[in-house]
Amino acid sequence: MTGNAHLCAPFVRDRGGFVNHNSGGTAVEGCRRRRETAWDGVAWRDAVANHPHLLKAEKARSGRILLGTLCAHAPPEILHAFDIVPVRLWGAGADPGGADPLLQSFICPPVRQIMAMGLAGRYDFLDGLVHAYSCDAACGLFNIWRRNLHPKFAFQLSLPYMDTPEALAYAQVEFRRLITALETLTDRAYEPERLRAAIGLYREARALLRRAYARKRQDGGPAYVDLYRLSLALQVFPVETVLPWLTAFDAAADGPAVAGDAGTTRLMISGSLCADEALFTEIAALGGNIVVDDTCIGYRTLLGEAAPEGDPVTALARHHLARPPCSARADFPARRAYFLEQIEAFRVEAVVFIHQKFCDPHLADHPFLKTLLEERGIPSLQVELEGEGLTGQIRTRLGGFFEMIGKNGP
């Protein structure tokens, strides 16, 4: 495919086939033009809650390629540059026991839940997976999925953990390997302008979400559950779909249409995949105001940006190497600095660690992070999830924690 007429423009199936709706303008303007989709007219809160059904309907309607991702280091910008929808998987809502034939019971619940959902056909709308090497469990999931479900496409990136010139060169090679594989999958040539345009759209979307989180640094601000849902929206829907939602939310953020949390204790939640809204609702009911999160599907995914100028692959590689590390990337000095920076910036008064059972990286970090909090007089609680959501035991422990710190709700 040659020429620049199609730069980042959605290719819309319009009865007879795919029609390029970009009739001019910049690449970003072309990419911003939204196609008709299965979720048109659906309120964004409902769209996020029902995203698997909507994505499945969209796949049947348009045939657009959808690829599941297992880690935030799988670059959505590169997928978007090929008109692919990246769909983050986190496994909520499944009995992890469904994966028992393939995964041991001492693997963390999200990995077992994702595999169980795959075996049950609940991800049959996906054309494949893109993974960036993270923890051993997620990498094992990628390989077990590939061998047993035989997806059309499966690709694993191996990004370096260090931020050095040698690591940058290696990361660029990895991203270019992905680009080559996507060229084969889509039968479309890579064009830097399309990737640069996708980077611009994700920069805009993340900036709007950071603005929403920034309102929580002061008293007031939007309800955390809305920030959580919008963060997920950006990870499961096309960015051109989510941008209008974010723009409208930002415009209404200081008005009565956006309700805040009523709790008085400024709280951080910390963990890997924290995706249980019932848990957030319980914390709010007990008097907690979640002002920031330290999770793999939340605020951390919004920080840092790829530079808009220069080679876009190099810019993306620099961005991913410089991002705040998660526990799986084993850089505790950087993790410590980031953790304390958010504690100070959001004036955090208490922390609830929400850990998945058998999540070795986060469980290994916990004693050190707990010590940092104790040294600063900040109380914390650790709860461990086993795939069953908010249980009576967890509810009791949360209630006891808020009674202990003396700020439980009405």
pLDDT digit string, tens, across residues 319-354: 999 998 888 887 788 899 999 999 999 999 999 999
Q: Give the pLDDT score at 92.
A: 74
Task: Please state which CATH class domain 11-161 belongs to.
Answer: alpha beta
Q: b vs e for 356-387, b when ≥16 Cβ sit within 10 Å of the residue's Cβ?
A: bebbebbbebbeebbebbeeeebbbbbbbbeb
Rounded CA separation 117/135 (Å): 20
CB 175 within 8 A of CB 313: yes
User: Which pLDDT band, with edges at 50, 70 and 90, does 49 fall under?
Assistant: confident
pLDDT at 25 exceeding the cut of 90: no
CA separation, residue 212 to residues 26, 217, 218, 386 (Å): 28, 10, 11, 31
Rounded CA separation 335/382 (Å): 18
Rounded CA separation 127/140 (Å): 19
Q: Give the pLDDT score at 279.
A: 92
pLDDT at 29 exceeding the cut of 70: no
The single residue listed with the structure tokens 């692959």 is 313
Q: Give the pLDDT score at 390.
A: 84
Q: What tens digit of pLDDT does each residue of 114-158 get? A: 999 999 999 999 999 999 998 999 999 999 999 999 999 999 999
DSSP 147-185: HHH--SEEEEE---SS-SHHHHHHHHHHHHHHHHHHHHH
Q: Which residues, at least 6 apart from 332, have a Cβ–Cβ distance to it below 8 Å? A: 365, 368
The CATH label, of 3.40.50.1780, 3.40.50.11900, 3.40.50.1100, 3.30.360.10, for the domain at 209-405 is 3.40.50.11900
pLDDT at 292 exceeding the cut of 90: yes
CB 19 within 8 A of CB 12: yes
Mean pLDDT for 8-35 is 42
CB 196 within 8 A of CB 308: yes
For the chain, percent of residues with pLDDT exceeding 70: 88
The single residue listed with the structure tokens 């072309």 is 30
pLDDT at 5 exceeding the cut of 60: no
AA identity, residue 328: A
Residue predicted with more confidence, 330 or 206: 206
Rounded CA separation 354/279 (Å): 10
Across the chain, mean pLDDT equals: 87
- E strands, 295-363, where? 350-356
Among 70-74, 341-345, 390-394, name the one with the lowest average pLDDT.
390-394
pLDDT at 410 exceeding the cut of 80: no
What ranges do the domains of the chain cover? 11-161, 209-405
Residue predicted with more confidence, 16 or 364: 364
According to DSSP, residue 8 is labeled T
Q: Give the pLDDT score at 8.
A: 40
pTM of the model: 0.88
AA identity, residue 325: P
In the three-class reduction of DSSP (H, G, I as helix; E, B as strand; rest coil), residue 27 is classed as: helix
AA identity, residue 256: P
User: Which pLDDT band, with edges at 50, 70 and 90, does 261 fall under?
Assistant: low
